Amino acid sequence: MGEYDAIVVGAGPGGSAAAYWLASAGLKVALLERKALGRDKVCGDGLTPRATKALIEMGVRPATESYHRIRGLRVLGAGREMELDWPTLSNFPGNGLVAARRVLDADITDRAVEAGVDVLDMTEAVGPVREGSTLTGVMWVRKEHVEGGGVVKADEGVLLAPFTIVADGASSSFGRSLGIRMDPTYPLGLGIRAYYRTDRHDDDFIESWLELRKDDLLLPGYGWLFPLGDGTMNVGVGLLQTSKKTLNVNLNRLQHDFIDVLPRSYGITHEGATGPYKSARLPLGGSIRKPCGDGFLCIGDAAGMINPFNGEGIDYALETGKLAAGMISAALARGSSTELVDYQVALRDIYGGYYRLGRLFLRMISKPELFRVMCQIGMRSETVMAFALQVLANLAEENGGKLADRAFRGLVKVAERGLDEYTEPDIPMPAGVPSRDRVEV
């Protein structure tokens, strides 16, 4: 196989979005995915208005019209229940979505294919090709399913390109082969989920339970119920790994107990599960300090980009995919160095303050007594919780707006002051990005 302008490793939302934006800018792109397209992924399947906007920008509109539409969040805690609509903003759509990942990810990859990307599925990036310290390509192995189950090696080879985007998810084995490491002082989450048959499958709110307990201990995490509109709900729990106490929690047990505490009227039972429990790690809050090197950029989970406030990472995978594509297409147009240090600066500029705020929030909720008091205060006031929803989902007007928008931006600005060497870099975007237009679904 020949040379490309860029190689993307991993066809999750991040990798497929990056490939789509690169090809839309006229570049020759190969997208490698180690599994067959249409693979499942352990996730809550929830898409905030932020993720919805990123999908619309890529023209995933036909699919977003068939996904289950969500008007807001129902939150339960401190003995109360509240329904909060997503905020009305000029820069984000007024709805979220829930879509099973095997459908969502394939739809995004389809957009990449339509844009001209060569997609190679069942093809794993197994090692880097380097010239000196510069990454110049990827060694790959293609596997095939065989009759009776299992896979065998079918082919192997090398692809060359001046830039590679590493989008291989939370475990990021290819990223690790390039020396990318998670900062162990950063928070890590764990999540588990299963699908259940229920009449509540067409609820138009996603639901979040703030109080997860092991015995009497209030745990830093939450339980979720995300309706898919297809007869099932994605139900799961997410837990922050902050102390020995949370490290010792058995996730399967926690999921089992969460199902048991749900009201009978929900009709969600162990017997109604349509598949097994599945769990995975969540690298939170920008935990990869240097997500780039000579010839490559990491995006999405491979860059540790999951929102520390709520564990959502699809939107940040889509956004960092677009950002990385913009950086690479600009560098190729300029013929500039393959060392795109501006990427790291741009991540800090866009997300640094917000993620720092999120990490402070996690420190607070990891103290059970403080978390309990925060829940009690918050759940007494719809205004406080509506503001919390804006902050947790990272949704605010870019300029002006209501008091909540200004207060949120103010908090982020204060958090930015704690970052070292904060600057405002020039951030190139791929061609055709309607970045500040109002978008609606």
Ligand X SMILES: Cc1cc2nc3c(=O)[nH]c(=O)nc-3n(C[C@H](O)[C@H](O)[C@H](O)COP(=O)(O)OP(=O)(O)OC[C@H]3O[C@@H](n4cnc5c(N)ncnc54)[C@H](O)[C@@H]3O)c2cc1C
Min dist. Cβ of residue 258 to ligand X (A): 13
Give 418's contacts (C-beta < 8 A, 6+ positions apart). Answer: 356
Burial of residue 265 (number of CB atoms within 10 Å: 0-12, 13-18, 19+):
exposed
Min dist. Cβ of residue 384 to ligand X (A): 23
The residue length of the chain stands at 441
Look at residue 395 and give its three-state secondary structure: coil
Q: Tokens in use for 441?
A: 């679904």
Q: Which is nearer to ligand X, 93 or 313 (CB)?
A: 313
Min dist. Cβ of residue 139 to ligand X (A): 10
HEC-encoded secondary structure of 287-346: CCCCCEEECEEECHHHHCCECCCCCCCHHHHHHHHHHHHHHHHHHHHHCCCCECHHHHHH
Distance between CA 264 and CA 269 in Å, rounded? 8
Min dist. Cβ of residue 393 to ligand X (A): 10
- CA dihedral defined by 333, 339, 341, 343, rounded to 10 degrees? 50
Chain residues in the site for ligand X (CB under 6 A): 9-15, 32-35, 39, 41-46, 51, 124-125, 167-169, 173-174, 191, 193, 236, 280, 282, 300-302, 306, 311-315, 317
Distance between CA 236 and CA 223 in Å, rounded? 6
Q: Which is nearer to ligand X, 43 or 327 (CB)?
A: 43
Look at residue 151 and give its three-state secondary structure: strand
Min dist. Cβ of residue 45 to ligand X (A): 6
Q: Which is nearer to ligand X, 163 or 174 (CB)?
A: 174
Q: Which is nearer to ligand X, 48 or 401 (CB)?
A: 48
Q: Which residue has the tokens 């599994």?
A: 35
Q: Which is nearer to ligand X, 301 or 349 (CB)?
A: 301
* Strand ranges, E, within 68-210: 68-70, 72-77, 80-85, 96-98, 118-120, 123-131, 134-145, 151-160, 163-166, 188-197, 205-209
Q: Which is nearer to ligand X, 32 or 401 (CB)?
A: 32
Min dist. Cβ of residue 105 to ligand X (A): 7
Min dist. Cβ of residue 205 to ligand X (A): 14
Q: What is the residue type of 273?
A: A
Distance between CA 79 and CA 175 in Å, rounded? 44
Question: Across the chain, which distance is largest between two alpha carbons, in Å?
Answer: 63
Min dist. Cβ of residue 57 to ligand X (A): 16
Q: Which is nearer to ligand X, 34 or 356 (CB)?
A: 34
State the number of CA atoms in the 13 A half-sphere of 10 facing the CB.
28
Min dist. Cβ of residue 376 to ligand X (A): 26
Q: Which is nearer to ligand X, 354 or 401 (CB)?
A: 354
Q: What is the residue type of 88?
A: T
Q: Which is nearer to ligand X, 187 or 401 (CB)?
A: 187
Q: Tokens in use for 378?
A: 């918050």
